[in-house]
Structure 1
Amino acid sequence: MGEGSEPAGGEKYRGLIAGAQRETRIKVAVAHPCDEVSLRGAIEAHKLGLIEPILVAPLARVRNAADAAHLEISGFELVESAHSHESAAKAVGLVTAGRVEALMKGSIHTDELMGAVVAREGGIRTERRISHCFIMDVPGHPEPLIITDAAVNIAPDLDAKVDIIQNAIDLAHAMGVREVRVAILSAMETVTAKVPSTIEAAALCKMAERGQITGALLDGPLALDNAISPEAAAIKKIVSPVAGRANVLVVPDLEAGNMLAKSLSFLAGADAAGIVLGARVPIILTSRADSLLSRLASCAVAVMVAAARRKAAGSPLQ
């Protein structure tokens, strides 16, 4: 695969990486890659032909980290910063200068990076709500599952969920998903005033019917089993093109999404790639616990999103 060796495991992720390798390599500002994990992810993504990293960090720290891990970074552009806060600000500045098509989180806290992204002065927000998507590679499941939002929006209201869903739909299309099937999750499949998320789910489905959400089939409320298991949907007599076949799962709030994603990771052996959408460029958001394959898949997804935006805009950079 490309210039590097093929990562082991994760058939669905290997497919994403192969798809991204057919696109143009993108320039990525890596914010504060001052440890082995974040450096190795950027270097391996470069070897696979996915990204051209620009490392934004205190130069002594990043070089010491590379030397300690026996990693070669001499071929990469380095941008000096004094500390992690400035790393985030300068990485975002590379976006506003039109030099990069994506951001990548290094050994920096998510809040610090996202603070620079949403800053009133020099930030890169758009009219679209910023949201996070996990792209889950679940063993035994036929296709990747997109889960949103499990990392950014704590308790999104109805209007925020419209953007959260649209971001996920656009992501799925960028990944090459032919039919995007969105399940609005709750604890049950019936609408009841006692469970507010069921009412929101019904409203979101009606909004899709009226063209306020586009590009996908929506159904909800659906319990998780009815969303991903055809047998469970049949037992409940739920007939829809989404029930039992969903490839996008929209959770009621961050707590539910975080528990769902981590349950799949730690109990079902799933890998979780992560990306933030809704800003001027995709943001590769990974955890210290993520495998190298997950980090590469996150980069691959960012390449696909950047390529889709480039094609839509008809220009090399957004």
Structure 2
Amino acid sequence: MASSSPSSSSSSSSSTPHSAAPHPHYDRLIAAARALPPLRVAVVHPVNAVSLEAALASAALGLIAPTLVGPRAKIEAAAREAGADISHLTIVDAPHSHAAADAAVAMALRGEVDALMKGSLHTDELMGAVVRREGGLRTSRRISHCFVMDIPGHAQPLVISDAAINIAPTLEEKVDIVQNAIDLAHALHMPAVRVAILSATETVNAKVPSTLDAAVLCKMADRGQITGAQLDGPLAMDNAIDAEAARIKGIVSPVAGRANVLIVPDLDAGNMLAKSLTFLGGAYAAGIVLGTKVPVILTSRADSESARLASCAVASMLVKAGKDRLIKAVG
């Protein structure tokens, strides 16, 4: 994957701003996922208490059925540190983190698990195994990342892409990034999917390449090359999510002021936006990798428990949506 992120940008949720902030969107998401069968998940290299506890908390709620993949001795030591009983769980012994990532990907290819979950290893180590051209989890789609964000006081969850994998995506790559995000929104049962293609301005300006990309993406949607949502862009952040800002600017659009999917121009913009919402706005950020044969759940040591649970719930609903599409196509 030519434009993969050089560092772990998965999900960043500080526990401090979340202590008093309600997150009803995640509550509903987790409740919906709990009604589904537990997702078979390979937890990759969970060799510290934090990463292991994330998997065990999700399992306790019935969201996942975890298989722990990594050095057995280190996993058992992490369990002792966490005071957790893992005697009932399957451990696939692997000597180190790279081998654990390879083993988890192989399990997914054999149909033994429905998703992968990042444990205590660098995101690049896991994604290196996922994106490998031979023996990886690539599909015909560009691999991309989405945050599903629950922002206190905001009427709906926001999907933000791509803030963690694609550094400076081309127009062609943005087509897949947008379609991946739309498909995710449908899997989460958003009643209407409204996609804002973000830039610094809401007018097309030849000197600002992101505005040109936005205009082309919207025309591609008009021609059926991107499906399943209403698109508008370029839109600035204010008039994408605030109806009054859109009114003042004179923007008449079914998306402006009401967007629930935000497509950023590059990784820098997306990462700053997501982390600003998290650390200044008290938002939770559930991270998921799309465009792969199975979803990849990306968590961070800084994530709250609710964000970790929501990431598993997102993966569960994605897998359910994929199975529903297959049944519909066959039947």
Q: Normalized against structure 1, the TM-score is what? A: 0.95
Q: Does 1:96 align with 2:96?
A: no
Displacement of 1:11 in angstroms is 1.4
Corresponding residue of 1:105? 118
Corresponding residue of 1:238? 251
Displacement of 1:293 in angstroms is 0.6
Describe the SS at the equivalent of 1:314: helix
Corresponding residue of 2:12? none
The separation in 1 between residues aligned to 2:119 and 2:100, in whole angstroms, is 10
Displacement of 1:286 in angstroms is 1.1
The separation in 1 between residues aligned to 2:186 and 2:36, in whole angstroms, is 15
Alignment deviations for residues 92-135 of structure 1 (CA, whole Å, 9 cap, x no partner): 01101110110100001000000000112211100100000001
Question: More relative contact order in 1 or in 2 (CA 8 Å, sep 6+)?
Answer: 2
Residue 266 (structure 1) aligned to one of 279, 291, 299: 279
The separation in 1 between residues aligned to 2:300 and 2:43, in whole angstroms, is 14
Displacement of 1:80 in angstroms is 0.3
Corresponding residue of 2:231? 218
Q: Does 1:301 align with 2:314?
A: yes
Q: Does 1:60 align with 2:73?
A: yes
Displacement of 1:147 in angstroms is 0.4
The separation in 2 between residues aligned to 1:255 and 1:73, in whole angstroms, is 39
Q: What 5-or-longer segments of structure 1 have no aligned partner?
A: 1-7
Residue 206 (structure 1) aligned to one of 219, 223, 243: 219
Displacement of 1:314 in angstroms is 2.7
Residue 140 (structure 1) aligned to one of 153, 158, 162: 153
Check whether the contact 2:22–2:152 (CA below 8 A) recurs between aligned residues. no
Displacement of 1:166 in angstroms is 0.4
Check whether the contact 2:39–2:316 (CA below 8 A) recurs between aligned residues. yes
Q: Does 1:255 align with 2:271?
A: no
Corresponding residue of 1:5? none
Corresponding residue of 1:75? 88
Corresponding residue of 1:42? 55
Supply the RMSD in Å over aligned alpha carbons: 1.0
Q: CA, structure 1 residues 134+219, in 2 after alignment: closer, same or farther (shift >3 Å)?
A: same
The alignment of Structure 1 onto Structure 2 pairs a total of residues equal to 308
Check whether the contact 1:147–1:250 (CA below 8 A) recurs between aligned residues. yes
The separation in 2 between residues aligned to 1:188 and 1:97, in whole angstroms, is 47
Corresponding residue of 2:14? none
The separation in 1 between residues aligned to 2:296 and 2:261, in whole angstroms, is 19
Residue type at the aligned position of 1:266: F
Corresponding residue of 1:157? 170
Corresponding residue of 1:12? 25
Residue 197 (structure 1) aligned to one of 192, 210, 217: 210
Check whether the contact 1:133–1:150 (CA below 8 A) recurs between aligned residues. yes
Displacement of 1:9 in angstroms is 4.1
Q: Does 1:311 align with 2:324?
A: yes
The separation in 2 between residues aligned to 1:126 and 1:72, in whole angstroms, is 37
Displacement of 1:275 in angstroms is 0.2
Describe the SS at the equivalent of 1:221: strand
Describe the SS at the equivalent of 2:111: coil
Residue 22 (structure 1) aligned to one of 31, 35, 40: 35
Corresponding residue of 2:17? none
The separation in 2 between residues aligned to 1:15 and 1:58, in whole angstroms, is 36
Corresponding residue of 2:131? 118
Residue type at the aligned position of 2:312: C
Alignment deviations for residues 54-108 of structure 1 (CA, whole Å, 9 cap, x no partner): 0001000000010011012111111000000000000101101110110100001
Describe the SS at the equivalent of 1:19: helix
Check whether the contact 1:274–1:285 (CA below 8 A) recurs between aligned residues. yes
Describe the SS at the equivalent of 2:278: helix
Q: Normalized against structure 2, the TM-score is what? A: 0.92
> Identity over aligned residues, as a percent?
64
Displacement of 1:287 in angstroms is 1.2
Displacement of 1:25 in angstroms is 1.4
Alignment deviations for residues 262-291 of structure 1 (CA, whole Å, 9 cap, x no partner): 000011111100000000001001111111
The separation in 2 between residues aligned to 1:129 and 1:24, in whole angstroms, is 28
Check whether the contact 2:285–2:307 (CA below 8 A) recurs between aligned residues. yes
Q: What 5-or-longer segments of structure 2 have no aligned partner?
A: 1-20
Residue type at the aligned position of 1:69: A
Corresponding residue of 1:172? 185
Describe the SS at the equivalent of 2:46: coil
The separation in 2 between residues aligned to 1:9 and 1:64, in whole angstroms, is 34
Describe the SS at the equivalent of 1:234: helix
Residue type at the aligned position of 1:220: G
